[in-house]
Structure 1
């Protein structure tokens, strides 16, 4: 819904600004991560006021892309936890995140082709980068549903766990990420994300600059001290 999208955009922006937030977790509140668009609502709007429907759909896509942009530029780890269905834009969210964990009964699909639409939310950008062009075309052109184990094999999710253990495993991962050296993790994210768009010569300079920036952080000092003192580091994200 527009309200949900607005809430996600606002929450993501606040998470980026708040230094006390060191990991962003996205998950559904109910039995499904995100079941896709309100197709019955689409039908009602199409039959009652088609021009208004088209304007609203355009605004929806702009908002969806704003959210994806914010998630991709997020300097902190972004983790998604998928229970149930991740359809349409739900799958786009999974692809846009840094890491994904899913319950064994999770179901994924692009679904758009079934109602005569092409994908939004960056799915056509991220999917070939994750699964390869041929598999991306298969998922987009056929729109078939696939289960968590196939999502794992394709690289769409990182872990598949029993449904009963999803919340516990998600919490462990989120805590591990939040306890990490946030600045260094953000630099690593940026380097990996930009690597496909730059030559090795360009990338090597960016890598050297990022290494120097991480070396100047308090977390680097703490990490070295913890290693020498044979204890776990207490990173502060600074």
Structure 2
């Protein structure tokens, strides 16, 4: 069982806290397979706003309580006034995802069990994804007569290409962990009982890494598919020069010449 800091309400739909340089976001509706309702969407957006305002955050780690990462939207919550609920739910989730995409630190997702609908979009929006071997991805939207949200179609098209993305979204067939790895939708597949430790280890590595450089690399990779070569070369030049002005760059060079591990401070 996870031990939360005393400032965290363990009953909230989304929990967030910072441990050193690691910011944790945890979806916390395990009894509903972490399905997104309006309260969850608003709490997620607020957590992302708080994290973006915290200068001590050097990496973000997204997890979910229970046996599923996220089984899409909470359909029961949409029955009364689906249009109004959908608007509120999507507004919160999209606001949070946009903030995380722009955040100049790595964002890691650890997923297990069902990852469906908006949960798939959340997963695809992260910079790195580690999946338990029991993970099942599902687009799900056509099964309820809906199109996508949470940047799901954007993420799929960019990661697997137009033709395969069309197949995934239109045929809506489940994708197991090994197939997700083959398609490049996740970075690693791990035994379920080893997922937490591996994800935490990677987060600690980034939390002790050259934060400005990692942020610049994230920004460059995210822009690579939209820039022409000339603009991207200019962006790379600007990023490198910015890194060259940091204390971490100086430490990295000194450590290399001294043949010792660098001790980065994130500055």
Instruction: Verify same fold: TM over 0.5.
Output: yes
Query: Which deviates more from structure 2 when the two are superposed, residues 126-135 or residues 5-14?
Result: 5-14
The residue aligned with 2:261 is 232
1:22 pairs with 2:51:
no
**Unpaired runs of at least 5, structure 1:** 46-51
Counterpart contact for 2:38–2:88, Cα < 8 Å: no
**Unpaired runs of at least 5, structure 2:** 1-36
SS in 1 for 2:71: coil
The residue aligned with 2:28 is none
Inter-partner Cα distance in structure 1 for 2:225 and 2:189: 27
SS in 2 for 1:86: strand
What is the CA distance between 1:60 and its match in structure 2?
1.7
Counterpart contact for 2:41–2:90, Cα < 8 Å: no
Task: Give the number of equivalent residue pairs.
Answer: 231
What is the CA distance between 1:62 and its match in structure 2?
2.1
- Over aligned residue pairs, what C-alpha RMSD do you find? 1.2
Inter-partner Cα distance in structure 1 for 2:63 and 2:161: 26
2:223 maps to which of 186, 194, 207: 194
The residue aligned with 1:185 is 214
Greater relative contact order, per chain length (Cα 8 Å cut-off, separation 6+):
1
The residue aligned with 1:172 is 201
Counterpart contact for 1:16–1:76, Cα < 8 Å: no
SS in 1 for 2:58: coil
Structure-to-structure mapping, 1:43-82, within 5 angstroms: 44-45=79-80, 52-82=81-111
TM-score, normalised by the number of residues in structure 1: 0.94
TM-score, normalised by the number of residues in structure 2: 0.84
What is the CA distance between 1:41 and its match in structure 2?
3.4
What is the CA distance between 1:177 and its match in structure 2?
1.5
Counterpart contact for 2:44–2:93, Cα < 8 Å: no
SS in 2 for 1:56: helix
The structure whose residues are more often strand, as a share, is 2
The structure whose residues are more often helix, as a share, is 1
Superposed structure 1 runs of 4+ greater than 3 Å apart: none
The residue aligned with 2:69 is 33
What is the CA distance between 1:39 and its match in structure 2?
2.2
Deviations 1:3-54, CA, capped at 9 Å, x for gaps: 2222211221222222221110001011111111222333x42xxxxxx321
